[in-house]
């Protein structure tokens, strides 16, 4: 986990009691010996190895498998080139110890292991229950809460884990309601039926600003529009560059009015590697010139109508309508806008990526690697269909570089390739988390990574 008290997130021990490396390439991780699963079994190092094996196994088809590609032979195993998991650089080397060998040095490797995709797992439970292993009656966990109820698409109820190795949470239960419309959630909050709402729509910010329940915090979250770089008419790089130049991000954040930071960089503001002037800035003349060079606009052929798709959300709709108007005004482009419910939208992105799509990235760990490795050719989270071995090599070199300035220079090169030379996506802004917390709640956890841990939350 992380400690955010000093401002800069610091990795802190939880299931691991310590981790050591002399060269940043071979890591020895010692697990605590008093952690037990919710069915009473002790946590052992093999459960960590099992979790990594399941993440990397090709048939799991995990979107986050690439998180472990720094581990020796992990990428080859995930891509089916290596069949024997014993060749992977993770071994149980003691009753409370695993040793990890990486492909190359990586000083921030422990940060990767704070992400839930790398957590330990009980393969016996998965084998016994199949796809139903995550149902409340079947799942076993090792955190401060156990899952008591999961009514799909309706609610989850967490219950305090009385066998937790750490300090027991003050709350016995946490009830999380799944609510599609944010306005519905706010109505429930006003009626005292909810203690927390994690997003305040732009049109309601003025109403809530200044009230004690309203809170905001800058976050390592970036919102962007991704291009399907192989699908006409956005397969032309000059068209993509023209669109990027034709969008005024300041106009968007003015509408949202909660302190968002307009972005042309893909590394969010407030993080090492952020460059305010990297990417394609708003410039209508340049946009028109590139559009003309692509054969469209004044004196050229008419540009075909194309589609922007996004997941259903009030703020996403406001932004899309603004961009739609900007592109019409600045380039004479007609862009259709369509929204889909989240689950449907994720399937659309995977199976038939739209010409233009809305997406955001919430930092999993506070390093530019987490944002820029998203666009590597082997990342399952890369929906742009843009692939570059040269880009992959830069990202891998930057991850293993020990000098901060060298890393910064490499990430700058990578961003130039991604945003300016190829324009695989258009960053819009880095977010501010705007949320409501009932006055009766103490120690509500909000931080730059958006992690929500309820184990210290209490009710007055």
| Mean pLDDT calculated for residue range 222-248 | 97
Asked whether the predicted pLDDT for residue 270 surpasses 80, the reply is no
DSSP 102: B
Task: State the average pLDDT over residues 227-242.
Answer: 97
- Cβ-Cβ contacts under 8 Å for 129 (sequence gap 6 or more): 135, 138
- What pLDDT was estimated at residue 7? 65
How many angstroms separate the first and last alpha carbons of the chain? 26
Both tokens of 175, joined, read 């009830």
Task: Provide the 10 A C-beta neighbour count for residue 43.
Answer: 20
pLDDT tens for each residue of 287-327: 999 999 999 988 788 999 999 999 999 899 999 999 999 99
Q: 49 with 92: CB under 8 angstroms?
A: yes
Strand 214-227, strand 425-437: pairing: antiparallel
Side-chain-side CA neighbours of 410 within 13 Å: the count stands at 22
Which pLDDT belongs to residue 140?
Answer: 97
Q: Which residues pair with 309 in a beta bridge?
A: 338, 357
Which pLDDT score is estimated for 6? Answer: 66
Residues 366-398, buried b or exposed e (16+ Cβ, 10 A)? bbbbbbbbbbbeebeebbbebbbeebbebbbeb
Q: What is the DSSP letter of 233?
A: T
Q: DSSP secondary-structure letter at 172? A: S
Give the closest residue to 386 by CA, choosing from 210, 280, 235.
235
d(CA 234, CA 458): 51
Q: How confident is the model at residue 378 (pLDDT cuts 50, 70, 90)?
A: very high
Strand (E) positions, 395-457?
Answer: 425-437, 441-442
Average pLDDT, the chain: 94
| Residue 353: strand pairing partners | none
């Amino acid at each position: 986990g992380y400690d955010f008290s000093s401002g800069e997130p610091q990795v802190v021990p939880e299931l691991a009691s310590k981790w050591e490396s002399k060269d940043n390439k071979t890591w020895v991780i010692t697990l605590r010996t008093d952690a037990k699963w919710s069915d009473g079994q002790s946590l052992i190092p093999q459960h960590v190895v099992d979790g990594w094996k399941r993440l990397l196994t090709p048939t799991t088809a995990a979107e986050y498998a690439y998180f472990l590609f720094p581990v020796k032979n992990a990428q080859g195993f995930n891509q089916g080139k290596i069949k024997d998991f014993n060749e992977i650089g993770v071994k149980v080397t003691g009753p409370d110890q695993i040793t990890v060998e990486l492909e190359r040095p990586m000083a921030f490797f422990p940060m990767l292991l704070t992400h839930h995709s790398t957590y330990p797992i009980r393969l016996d439970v998965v084998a016994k229950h199949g796809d139903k292993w995550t149902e409340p009656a079947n799942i076993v966990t090792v955190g401060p809460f156990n899952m008591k109820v999961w009514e799909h698409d309706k609610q989850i109820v967490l219950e305090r884990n009385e066998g937790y190795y750490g300090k027991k949470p003050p709350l016995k239960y946490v009830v999380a309601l799944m609510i599609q419309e944010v306005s519905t959630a706010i109505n429930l909050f006003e009626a005292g039926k909810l203690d927390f709402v994690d997003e305040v729509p732009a049109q309601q910010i003025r109403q809530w600003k200044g009230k004690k329940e309203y809170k905001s915090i800058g976050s390592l979250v970036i919102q962007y529009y991704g291009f399907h770089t192989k699908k006409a008419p956005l397969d032309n790089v000059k068209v993509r560059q023209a669109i990027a130049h034709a969008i005024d991000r300041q106009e968007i954040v003015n509408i949202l009015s909660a302190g968002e930071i307009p972005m042309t960089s893909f590394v969010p503001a407030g993080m090492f590697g952020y460059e305010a002037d990297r990417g394609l800035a708003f410039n209508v003349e340049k946009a028109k010139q590139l559009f003309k060079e692509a054969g469209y606009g004044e004196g050229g052929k008419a540009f075909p109508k194309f589609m922007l798709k996004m997941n259903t959300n009030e703020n996403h709709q406001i932004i899309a309508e603004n961009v739609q108007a900007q592109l019409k005004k600045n380039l004479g482009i007609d862009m259709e806008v369509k929204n889909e419910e989240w689950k449907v939208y994720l399937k659309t992105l995977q199976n038939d990526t739209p010409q233009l799509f809305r997406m955001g990235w919430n930092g999993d760990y506070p390093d530019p690697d987490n944002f820029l490795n998203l666009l590597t050719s082997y990342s399952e989270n890369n929906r742009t269909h843009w692939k570059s071995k040269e880009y992959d090599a830069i990202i891998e070199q930057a991850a293993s570089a020990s000098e901060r300035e060298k890393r910064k220079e490499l990430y700058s090169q990578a961003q130039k390739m991604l945003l300016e030379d190829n324009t695989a996506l258009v960053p819009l802004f880095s977010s501010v988390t705007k949320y409501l917390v009932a006055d009766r709640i103490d120690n509500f956890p909000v931080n730059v990574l958006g992690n929500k841990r309820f184990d210290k939350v209490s009710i007055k």
